[in-house]
Amino acid sequence: MDKKLNELKARLQAELRSVQDSEVLAQIKNKYLGRKGELTNILKEVKNLAAEEKPRLGKLANDIKFELQSLLDKTEKIVSKPSGAGVDFDPTMPGSRREEGHLHPITLVQRDVEEAFAQLGFGIYDGPQLESEFYNFSALNIPADHPARETQDTFWLENHNLLRTHTSNLQVRMLEKYGAPFRGIFPGRVFRYESTDASHDHTFYQLEGLMVDKDISMANLIAVMKSLLSAVFRTKVDVRLRPGFFPFVEPGFELDIKCLVCGGNGCSVCKQSGWVELMPCGMVHPEVLKFGNVDPSVYSGFAFGLGLTRLVMMKYKIDDIRLLESGDLRFLRQF
């Protein structure tokens, strides 16, 4: 019976901590001290106890009843008063703590990148995730049957529509809408019909950058990439640039970052290579400019497709990409 009484007392104290109004308080009071309340029932059992147990447990039950009653009275005083000036504040009452939400790590890094680009005069744009085959592939100089389509396994929908496989779907849309000169970034969710592992998910975030103007060169691209990396990491990181093929840029490059999860020693994120593919880029192909109604003999431009989710993994040393979309609060509470 001692155990039962103490457990009941702890439960009631916990329930009282979150009480905000007198209706709920009345329900609690009834639950414990009403005619058929839990404490009342225990008190009724006292008379059936062995004679030598009766005095001790009877006293304990009555003491607890008294203690609970005064706890209920105190709570009643607090909840029945209007909030604001004049409310009694009892510093001995256990406080209630509300859990605060916070931003997802992808949003945190996305905001750093957006701020860095806003300072360089780039606009931030959004666009459809459900996309036509034309903007996702054909307008990017990737005709049907081109093998480059196979490198981005696609979730196909009806009528040649699809879930966009990359944020590059917005390149031609933006040029059509705003023309040249143009400078903008397009962060957003993309989808690939592929199996997952520590560095690949079927749903992840990219952040596309596009700058088109007169006399844009590789030097502009490199300068912009440097500002981006220093805005996110705020310290020097090792990167390497190597040739890469994408039909919508010429020349094309792959920018890799030395894996920050393992320090370049090799792990499941970098597939033991020490390097992680982060940001393919290149000079916009003249055919793409033409699709966007921009004259390639007057304008040139660069584009890049940052793997935003991978950047987050590098920044916070996350060793499995799938954690980011898992919704697991134990993981998310760390940020």
Take residue 179 and report the two structure tokens written for it.
Answer: 């023309």
Buried b (16+ CB within 10 A) or exposed e, 120-156: eebeebebeeebbbebbbbbbbbeeeeeebeebebee
Give me the amino acid identity at 241.
L
HSE, side-chain direction, 13 A CA sphere, residue 208: 23
Residues belonging to the chain: 335
For residue 113, give Cα distances in angstroms to 144, 166, 207, 250. 34, 18, 9, 25
Shortest distance (Å) from residue 266 CB to ligand FA5: 18
The residue (of 7 and 197) whose beta carbon lies closer to ligand FA5 is: 197
Nearer to ligand FA5, 42 or 255 (CB): 255
Separation in Å, CA 46 to CA 6, 37, 113: 15, 15, 69
Contact residues for ligand FA5, defined by CB under 6 A: 152, 166, 168, 192, 194, 200-201, 204, 206, 246, 249, 252, 277-278, 280-282, 303-305, 307, 309-310, 321
Closest approach of ligand FA5 to the CB of residue 304, in Å: 5
Closest CB to ligand FA5 among residues 12, 201: 201
C-beta of 115: minimal distance to ligand FA5 in Å?
A: 21
Nearest-approach distance from CB 167 to ligand FA5, in angstroms: 7
CB of 298 to ligand FA5, least distance (A): 21
Beta strands in the chain (DSSP E): 123-124, 130-132, 161-163, 182-191, 203-213, 239-243, 249-258, 275-284, 300-307
Closer to ligand FA5 by CB, 110 or 309: give it.
309
Minimum distance from CB of 210 to ligand FA5 (Å)?
8
Residue nearest to ligand FA5 (CB): 307
Alpha-carbon span 322 to 324, nearest angstrom = 5
Q: 223 with 235: CB under 8 angstroms?
A: no
Q: Which is nearer to ligand FA5, 152 or 154 (CB)?
A: 152
Name, in order, each residue with C-beta under 8 angstroms of 175's C-beta and a sequence gap of 6 or more.
182, 210, 212, 288, 289, 291, 292, 293, 294
Q: Where do runs of H (alpha helix) occur along 49-143?
A: 54-80, 105-119, 133-136
260 or 303: CB nearest ligand FA5? 303
Q: Pick the closer one to ligand FA5 by CB: 19 or 170.
A: 170
For ligand FA5, the closer CB: 58 or 244? 244
**Residue 247 CB, nearest approach to ligand FA5 (Å):** 9
Of the candidates 89, 66, 65, 68, the residue with the CA atom closest to the CA atom of residue 77: 89
CB of 124 to ligand FA5, least distance (A): 17
